[in-house]
Amino acid sequence: MIANDPYAELERRFARMSAVSRAGAILNWDRSTMMPDGASEDRADQLAALGVIGHEMMVAPDMAELLSRAEDGKADLDPWRAANLREMRHAWIHENALPSDLVEARTRASSACEMVWRDAKKKADFKALLPTLTEVVTITKRVGEAKAAALGLPLYDALLDEYEPGGRSARIDALFAELEAFLPAMLQKVMEAQKRAGAPLPLDGPFPVEAQRQLGLEMAKTLGFDFHHGRLDVSAHPFTGGTADDVRITTRYDEEDFTRALMGVLHETGHALYEVGRPRDWRRQPVGNARGMVLHESQSLLMEMQACRSDAFVAFASSRIRAVFGKSGPAWETDNIHRIYTRVAPGFIRVDADEVTYPLHVMLRYRLERAILGGDLALADLPGSWNDGMKELLGVGPPNDSLGCLQDIHWPDGAWGYFPTYTLGALAAAQLFAAARKAVPDLLGAIGKGDFAPLLGWLRANVHGKGSIADTDTILSQATGAPLSTAAFKAHLESRYLSA
């Protein structure tokens, strides 16, 4: 105990809390990839115990005094330590709002619901999920109410703040309104242009899983993923987990369509590179964490959508794709592969959606989760409202709930308030990639050679290495010259899909 240095004592405690959190991250990864189904109750008990241990460390009786004493001396702290203290206070406010029994109940409910969701999704049986999902929603509302009171925010904004510190629904509403005014006409123009060009030639499968895995490994390495500090595995829903020194990415395979798994790997590799690039000296402190999910999703979508659907990358990757699957012929030429990768078509599945329709999937989920949490939509009515929303926004109606409201893991897993960060991340990705192209000479030329070092170096300096030293808009403004907006995203879509 460093009695006369409250800030140093806080750093020591937060480092220990980080270790508890990192252990939980590995257990969570294992639950979703390799754990036998029969271990679910035991794993829920382990995760709940770790959650309560971390929570009780955070809300220790003397923590409020330590924070106040450290803040009294913050004038003597350098910028990183001052920012770290600010992030400590923010984390403490969130945790201190919740009693330990609610923390435990939240973890147990989401663990149980996720396991039920896996089977319900396979069987397209929403009714089977409803009891456990109802419990998750009930607990989530209690969490939201407690945090809303502590933060002085509406319930939804208090939950959003967990994933995007400082994020507010009023700003999301304004940005989404701009996109809703733009996307329908944009989609119509793209569909008409594609019709005039004719359909691309289909790629003849099947595509063996092992060949897809080898392609994914190779492309992840090309982007900069270090498999001495990470793994690629399979899960029901692709995700990135683990720790900065042990990053676990997952995908899922379809032998009829290799593009789904490959783009999943590229997406998750973007997340992983952000984790690895966080400031090494601060990784076990709050200021070393990723800023929030808007920037995190920007990094995955920058790699998957901006860089890896570019003409330059497809020209590089197409020869490797042909070699891995032993294919040749007109359908396997670079131009045709690129047309397939950039094909726009409204569909049922969010993670398989193209850049133009993807935001509409997110807007639907944002609309629905706010209605459920606000008491305006009964959970039992979710499937019908989902299907109606899909027809309204995308013009398609899912034939079953597996392709509808059961497709995502987020709500069963307790992640309410997360969804809007996907589209905000897409906006940030377009903004950052445009800035990188201006700053780095012949960036696309390097990508066309499979050289991602220039792009990764720019991201390390302007995003990854910043950690949480500043808020999202400040980091974006320093990197791109402007806070988050829709302008770069709109310009990107028009350039990629409508330029002759």
Enzyme catalytic residues: 268
Determine which helix (DSSP H) or strand (DSSP E) holds 246, and give its type and residue range.
strand 246-251
Question: Residue 367 corresponds to which tokens in the numbers above?
Answer: 């609309």
Amino acid letter, residue 196: R
Please answer whether residues 347 and 181 qualify as being in contact, where contact means their C-beta atoms are separated by less than 8 angstroms.
no
Torsion angle, alpha carbons of 154, 156, 159, 160, to 10: -110
What's phi and psi for 238, nearest 5 deg?
Answer: -60, 140
Whats the size of the chain, residue-wise? 500
CA distance 387 to 380: 13
What's phi and psi for 295, nearest 5 deg?
Answer: -70, -35
Q: CB count, 10 Å around CB of 91?
A: 16
Q: How many CA atoms lie within 13 A of 475 on its CB side?
A: 24
CA distance 31 to 117: 13
- Name which of 54, 61, 59, 76 is nearest 7 in CA terms: 76
What's phi and psi for 251, nearest 5 deg?
Answer: -145, -175
Question: Residue 73 corresponds to which tokens in the numbers above?
Answer: 């001396």
Q: Which residues contact 469 (CB under 8 A, 6 or more apart)?
A: 79, 80, 83, 287
- Beta-bridged to residue 250, according to DSSP, are 233
Q: What is the DSSP string of 349-371?
A: -GGG--TTTHHHHHHHHHHHHHH
Torsion angle, alpha carbons of 300, 304, 305, 310, to 10: 140
CA distance 33 to 47: 16
> Angle at which helices 293-301 and 472-480 pack, to 10 degrees?
40
- Beta-bridged to residue 232, according to DSSP, are 249
Torsion angle, alpha carbons of 65, 70, 73, 79, to 10: -160
- From the number of C-beta atoms within 10 Å of its C-beta (0-12, 13-18, 19+), residue 166 rates as middle
- Name which of 6, 144, 24, 29 is nearest 84 in CA terms: 6
- Beta-bridged to residue 233, according to DSSP, are 250
